[in-house]
Amino acid sequence: MLLQQLINGIALGSTYALIALGYTMVYGIITLINFAHGEIFMAGAFVGLFLVTVLKFNVFLAMAGAMIFCMIMGVVIELIAYRPLRKSSRLSALISAIGVSIFLSTLALMVFGADAKGFPDTAFPVQQVKILGAEISTLQLLIIGVSALLMLALEFIVQKTKIGKAMRATSEDYNTAALMGINVNRIISFTFALGSSLAAAGGVLVGLLFNAVSFNMGLMAGLKAFSAAVLGGIGSIPGAMLGGLLLGVAEVMGVAAGYSSYRDAIAFAILVLVLLVKPTGLLGQKIQKKV
């Protein structure tokens, strides 16, 4: 039973982690909470759904399509709503991000309507597998596998490639990185593209998991993923993964313990507590304010 819940939690948590990575990377580089990230996740789910139901793509192709679409979307959002505000106050940029988020979710409401839509059963035939007495669906295994694969790919890009090195340099010191000949604008666009594509993959996976895609799915998932990023230490990539998994497991355990009506409050209660005890999060580094 415990193992069962643990696996449910890990499956849910790895989707949170996928979304949280986008928050944490963007925050690490331009210290902005990309409020629209949850809506990118929602858009990814819709694009995936469209590709599966209308164009009859298989799930993996649809996921790749959604990732490419959201990459472009993330870059365009940054270009329109955040880049002109790079030099203004943090408050302005944050309000602009909230504006994008509201705009996109209302747009989705207009285009797709208010009711949740599901993936067809044929999209991914689900089977139950019994492992050590726990009933695990192949869908959960898919989610955990795809998430792990994407996170490994991300870790490779960030740690081993040249552009990843430039990303790390930019997040460490924006101005110095620019002086060293790094095209910071390109790095920021690349970061948005990377984070958005992970969110899109998360969107398709969550759409499959709950069999529901709706215009307002981005808000709550985005908030929880952000909580996960903060829990792990914002700006830290392993932190976002750890935070996502912890939050997913905590939520599933909370529901299993009978607090299902408080489901959405669990994540925030954890967030508030963590921020009070250790504002830098579990794996975050303390940054000294300089005058």
Partner 1 sequence: MGALQSIVAMVDPYVLQILVNIGIAIVLALGLNVITGITGQLSLGHAAFMSIGAFTSALITIKLGLPFGLNLLLSGIIAAAIGAAIGYPILRLTGDYLAICTLGFAEIVKVVFLNLDITNRALGLTVPPPKSPIPMPFYVWGVAILSIVFVCFMKESRFGRALKAIRDDEIAAEAMGINITRYKIQSFAIGSFLAGVGGGLYAHFLNYINPSDFGFLKSVDILSMMVLGGLGSIAGTVFGASVLAAAPEFLRFMAQYRMLVYGGLLVFMMVFRPNGLLGGVNFTDLVLRAIGRKPATAEINERHNKG
Interface positions with partner 1 (CB under 8 A): 27, 31-33, 80-81, 84-85, 88-96, 98-107, 109-110, 219, 223, 226-227, 230, 261-262, 264-265, 267-269, 271-272, 275-276, 279, 289, 291
Is the CA virtual torsion 278, 284, 288, 291 positive or negative? negative
- Nearer to partner 1 by Cβ, of 120 and 279: the residue is 279
Of 226, 232, 255, 213, nearest to 46 (Cα)? 213
- Nearer to partner 1 by Cβ, of 72 and 273: the residue is 273
Closest contact distance (angstroms) between CB of 266 and partner 1 is: 10
- Nearer to partner 1 by Cβ, of 31 and 211: the residue is 31
- Nearer to partner 1 by Cβ, of 256 and 275: the residue is 275
Closest contact distance (angstroms) between CB of 229 and partner 1 is: 10
Helix (H, G, I), strand (E, B) or coil at 128: strand
- Nearer to partner 1 by Cβ, of 6 and 219: the residue is 219
Of 7, 20, 265, 283, nearest to 151 (Cα)? 20
How many angstroms separate the Cα of 104 from the Cα of each of 43, 71, 212, 285? 9, 15, 18, 33
Of 96, 78, 112, nearest to 196 (Cα)? 78
Closest contact distance (angstroms) between CB of 90 and partner 1 is: 5
Of 262, 230, 256, 283, nearest to 19 (Cα)? 230
Closest contact distance (angstroms) between CB of 61 and partner 1 is: 31
How many angstroms separate the Cα of 76 from the Cα of each of 27, 36, 189, 196? 17, 12, 9, 11
Closest contact distance (angstroms) between CB of 99 and partner 1 is: 3
